[in-house]
Each structure stands twice: as structure tokens, then as C-alpha cells.
Amino acid sequence: MPEAAPPPRNPVLEPGERLAEILFGLIMVMSFTGSLSVATADRGEVRVMLIAAFGCNIAWGLIDAIMFVMARLNGRGGDRKTVLAVKRARSHAEARALIRDNLPPLVSGELTDEMTDRIRQRIAELPLESTAPPVARDDLRGAFSVFLIVVASTFPVILPFVFMSDLASAMRVSNAIGLAMLALIGHAYGRASGFSPWWTAGAMVILGAALVALTIALGG
């Protein structure tokens, strides 16, 4: 008898989460590169900009990694509270309402009372741990992935300043890379979310450019 294939491993980060992290890192680094003045900046200012952009995305990656772990813990804590509320429901109708409230509307609208009662019964049989959910290995893997994605998004935009001596040319290439990445992120997001990929690509370029301009303006 052939051995059964192991169940597929769920990805640590969903596609939307990965795209969002790339977008955040990209906007941060483009706000630094966009603040350079081609007419007056020298190599010393370029070096300072590169260090600042890289350091900012390291800090941003660490913050996002911590927030990722906190969000995972909060989600599992919310699930635990829902299970407890269903177990303590004073009637089947109250339990059904709790279950439906915690499901997407498209799903909850299709559930009959009989189907919801089967879910309630399964929840009632679940053991409930008395302690808060601990940090799991996948939480740490996800946090590390978030950090790497944010930091890695720095390099495509800053590499032209490293390898090109002409600042104006480096700026044009860097901006082109940044806009191309925004378009690719938008296209991928559209495919993942069911929207038109080309529409979301254009919208992402416009939105990303606007956010970069706003960040530069607010940063003085």
C-alpha cells in the first residue's frame, strides 16, 4: 500500500500579507530616495540616504515582525473567547447567533439551523485550555519572513545609487524600478483578490506614488 501523502502545509504568510509587506517597505525606501535633490546632492548625501533608508527598513521590519506576532496571538485569543462564549450560551439560538456572527456573511447566510447546531455541538466538545495561547513556531517563522521581506524590498530601489556614478541617471532608474514594483504588486494583488489585475496595477502605481509624495512632504 502506498503511504498517504502528508497534508499540505499552510503558508506562514498569505499572499496579501506578503504583498502588503513589500509595499510598506517599498514606500519607505522610495520616500528616502525621492527626497534627494539631483541638482545639489553629492556622494556624501547619497551615502547618508542609503544608510538611512536601509536602517529605517530594518527598524520597520522589526516593528512589523512584532506586530505580526501580536496579531496572531490576538486572533487565537479571539477564537478562544468565541469558543468559550458558545460553550456558555444560555440557549441554542444564542449559540447559533454567536457562530454566525463569527463567520463571513456569505457563509453564515447559507447555514441552516441544523448545520449551525452541528457546529455548536462540535464546539461544545472542544477542550478549552485555561491559559492564553503561547507563541507558536509558525508565529516566529512568520515574523522572520515579515522582517526579511521588508528589508529585501529596500535593495532594488537603492542599488542604482550604489552602482551608478551619475546621480540623475541613478534617480531615473531607481524611480523606474520603484514604479515597476508598484505595478507588479498591484497586478499580483488583483489576481489574489479577484479584481482586475491591470486595474489594480494602475491604481497601485497612483496610490503608491501619492503616498511616497505625501511621506516626503510631511518629512519636510
- What integer pLDDT is reported at residue 169 of this predicted model? 87
Contacts of 110 (CB under 8 A, 6+ apart): none
pLDDT along the chain (220 residues), means of 10: 47 74 85 74 82 90 91 84 86 87 82 86 77 77 91 91 87 88 88 85 84 66
- What integer pLDDT is reported at residue 58 of this predicted model? 93
Contacts of 194 (CB under 8 A, 6+ apart): none
Integer-rounded Cα radius of gyration of the chain: 24
- What integer pLDDT is reported at residue 15 of this predicted model? 72
- What integer pLDDT is reported at residue 8 of this predicted model? 46
- What integer pLDDT is reported at residue 144 of this predicted model? 92
How is residue 104 written as a grid cell?
463571513
- What integer pLDDT is reported at residue 59 of this predicted model? 92
- What integer pLDDT is reported at residue 147 of this predicted model? 93
- What integer pLDDT is reported at residue 92 of this predicted model? 84
